[in-house]
Structure 1
Amino acid sequence: MEHTTNAVLAAADSLIDAFSRHDREKYFAAFSKDATFIFHNLDRPLKNRAAYEAEWALWETRDGFRVLSCRSSDRNLQLLGNVSIFSHSVETQAEFGGEAVTSRERETIVFEKQPDGAWLAVHEHLSQAS
């Protein structure tokens, strides 16, 4: 059980680290191709990783989006066999059109163990912190 906990937390930490450095390639590699996404700032769910990658690219070109840093706290992990649910509070510093913006949100990421033993994110839900 401890090995599984460590493996899932390592996958979460890698995902968060890549996001915090605006490392698109490593960040999106942490998600399965059929992962789904629900973000409070979008009017629709994103039904796969390609849809999120397209949205991210739009934010970059249209809005001058760039992640500057990301800090994770209040972390919780539920292990459910080959599925794990990771939730945390997240504080992100990002840039939009040259202006730094700080957001405070809550996030849930569902990970699934792959046949090769890797843990990939299959769902992400982001909501505003109250």
Structure 2
Amino acid sequence: MTEHTDADGEVRRAAAALVAAFGRDDLEEYLGCFREDATFLFHTTGRLLTSREEYRQEWSSWVRDDDFRVLGCETSGTHVQVLGDTAVLTHAVRTTVSTRAGREELRERETIVFTRGPSGRWLAVHEHLSPAPGPGR
């Protein structure tokens, strides 16, 4: 294998661990997949979240105010671009959540930017979610 394909596989494994933790509603393990200074841009949140801690506080407000829980998460169509010690991963995301309003399935597109740290571990530095386009788009 070349260095590029090794990195591609490492990024895919890092993303799989991130998605699995999110799908289990394991906030601590999920956030542990990100650098402390990671940024988060979600279509459901009216501002850029500029750190893991800010995201943790936002998540806590969802739980407190709406009984938010993640029930499961699946991805498809994963594409990875490795650019040295940086990688951009894009995929489609189907998430099932529960709130006071009931159970809902969300279909979104996601971009996650990873960077390889000094230890060789790939950590996410940015996550961006947007709604998936509807049929025929």
Q: TM-score over 0.5 for the alignment? A: yes
Describe how 1:41-120 pairs up with structure 2 within 5 A: 41-97=44-100, 99-120=102-123
Q: Amino acid of the residue matched to residue 111 of structure 2? A: T
TM-score of the aligned structures, taking structure 1 as reference length: 0.98
Q: CA deviation at 1:98?
A: 6.2
- Percentage of pairs with the same residue: 44
Corresponding residue of 2:6: 3
Matches within 5 A, 1:29-40: 29-40=32-43
Query: Rg larger in 1 or in 2?
Result: 2
Deviation at 1:56, TM superposition (A): 0.4
Q: Are the aligned partners of 1:19 and 1:27 in contact in 2 as well (CA < 8 Å)?
A: yes
- 8 Å CA contact 1:64–1:98 kept in 2: the answer is no
Structure 1: stretches of 5+ with no match in the other structure: none
- Aligned residue pairs, count: 130
CA offset digits 1:90-117 (Å, max 9, x no partner): 0000001161111000000000000000
Query: Which secondary structure state, in structure 2, belongs to the residue aligned with residue 45 of structure 1?
Result: coil
What CA RMSD, in Å, does the superposition of the two structures yield over aligned residues?
0.8
- Return the TM-score normalized by structure 2: 0.93
Moved over 4 A (4+): none
- Structure 2 residue identity aligned to 1:69: G
Q: Can you give the 5+ residue segments of structure 2 that lack an aligned partner in the other structure?
A: none
**Distance in 2 between residues matched to 1:112 and 1:86, nearest whole Å:** 11
